[in-house]
Structure 1
Amino acid sequence: MNDEQLFKSKEYFFDRWAPSYDNLLPSVFYQAIHQRLLEYVELADRAAILDLGCGTGRLIDRLLLKFPTIQATGLDLSAEMLRQARQNKRDRARVIYISGNAENLPFAIGQFDAVFNTISFLHYPDPERVLSEIQRVLKPGGTYYLADFASWWWDRREAIGRGGSAMHFYPPALREELGKKVGLDCLGHVRLLGPVMLTRFSKKAGI
């Protein structure tokens, strides 16, 4: 399966899931993760933020409640997820939802003060390319919040599934290594809920 076929397959899967996404058990789990994540989020007044793999926009909704002056952009591969997000979003003046691929972000250099990535990094076939794109669109000193399942007990990437559709889990040391390659400094790791780990990165000044 080539990359185009892989992304089409993922898009189809999440399009089918989108109408019932917020009513299923995973949504309850993600809500708990969001609540824990928000304890570690710091955003300046009127910060511009990007949520990669935003799904139905629930994290953006919660960020808007806690930080009422931010400008938010959500990006997702699934058109149906975005349709649900546009129906649900709280503040149309401060939120935009865009269809796109995390490996080729349709944004300018240094456009965002913070980027969020919650339970979606495990789907990326080329994580280094995604991290390079995140580094590009972050402002110097900006923060990247990566919350995803981690292989806590191993020092290497673990995979579930086969081929391009496999999901990959990254231990803390490997997350740090991948970030360092593209100019993202690791600020530390926090266990959010069960095997889900938050890693915070900062874009080096002057890059």
Structure 2
Amino acid sequence: MTSNSEQEIQQKIQLFNIWALFYDDLISSLFYKTLHRRLLDYLTLPKTPWVLDLGCGTGRLLDRLAKIYPDLFGIGLDISSEMLRQARKSRRHAPRLVYIKGNAATLPTADNQFDAVFNTISFLHYPEPLQVLSEVYRTLKPQGKYYLIDWVGIGNDGYQEIPIGAGKIRLYSFSKREEMGKQIGFTQINHYWLLAGVGLTIFEKL
């Protein structure tokens, strides 16, 4: 029997597979470029960083990071085959960047593997946010950082659940993000507004 979470994931895969064809159009591209550029103001990475981008889409963030950090190695993970196909098309920065299909709640990565994990407008889609946070914590190295960028919730108790055509999206306030992170063992470094309604939370694994 298929669970509600599994049904929702399948619905979103279908949505993202269609969206992938238009993902890098002018409006969407400008939105993500702005977020990525502002993220760089708060980013700290070692000289030879290993990074993971959850919900990597067409790979634009990893592409930008690989240009700035010539010794960077990165994995982009997405549940959408079409998003990954778009990311792989140009083979930008191969073989330093690899794109794989997977679910953020069950990461196909090793313990203590990454210096940084990124999540840009993807966390809102996860039916099991604490499980995702636990997996991010597991795969980060000690002192590794998790950069969570998403729309900020303003509902009761810092949480909003909004039905959409493909399941639901879930928005969390800064304080709710911090609360969930602490449950897993993260230390919250700070919160920053990147755009109206979109905020960055930086967690660290000590």
The aligned length equals 204
Task: Tell me the alpha carbon deviations over residues 18-77 of structure 1, each in whole angstroms, 9 at most, x when there is no partner.
Answer: 112101522211111111111111110111000000000000011111212110100000
Unaligned runs of 5+ in 1: none
Report the more deviating stretch, 22-31 or 149-158. Answer: 149-158
Q: 1:117-156 alignment to 2 at 5 Å?
A: 117-152=119-154, 155-156=157-158
Whether contact under 8 Å (1:74, 1:97) holds in the other structure is yes
AA in 2 matched with 1:35: R
- Equivalent residue number for residue 182 of structure 1: 184
CA distance in structure 2 between the aligned counterparts of 1:33 and 1:188, rounded to whole angstroms: 17
CA gap of 1:64–1:162, structure 2 versus 1, over 3 A, is closer
- Equivalent residue number for residue 11 of structure 2: 9
AA in 2 matched with 1:109: D
Alignment RMSD, CA only? 1.6
AA in 2 matched with 1:10: K
CA distance in structure 1 between the aligned counterparts of 2:163 and 2:24, rounded to whole angstroms: 25
CA gap of 1:2–1:155, structure 2 versus 1, over 3 A, is closer
Unaligned runs of 5+ in 2: none
Cα drift, residue 164 of structure 1: 7.9
Whether contact under 8 Å (2:15, 2:166) holds in the other structure is no
1:43 to 17, 42, 45: 45
- Equivalent residue number for residue 80 of structure 1: 82
- Match of 2:74, SS? strand
Q: Taking structure 2 as the reference length, what is the TM-score of the superposition?
A: 0.94
CA distance in structure 2 between the aligned counterparts of 1:40 and 1:152, rounded to whole angstroms: 24
CA gap of 1:24–1:68, structure 2 versus 1, over 3 A, is same
- Match of 1:20, SS? coil
Cα drift, residue 182 of structure 1: 0.6
Q: State percent identity of aligned pairs.
A: 50
- Equivalent residue number for residue 65 of structure 1: 67
- Match of 1:166, SS? strand
CA distance in structure 1 between the aligned counterparts of 2:167 and 2:8, rounded to whole angstroms: 7
Cα drift, residue 8 of structure 1: 1.2
Q: Taking structure 1 as the reference length, what is the TM-score of the superposition?
A: 0.94
Whether contact under 8 Å (2:11, 2:166) holds in the other structure is no
CA distance in structure 2 between the aligned counterparts of 1:129 and 1:53, rounded to whole angstroms: 15
Whether contact under 8 Å (1:159, 1:166) holds in the other structure is yes
Instruction: Establish whether residue 108 from structure 1 lines up as the match of residue 110 from structure 2.
Output: yes
AA in 1 matched with 2:187: D
CA distance in structure 2 between the aligned counterparts of 1:134 and 1:177, rounded to whole angstroms: 16
- Match of 1:97, SS? strand
AA in 1 matched with 2:127: P
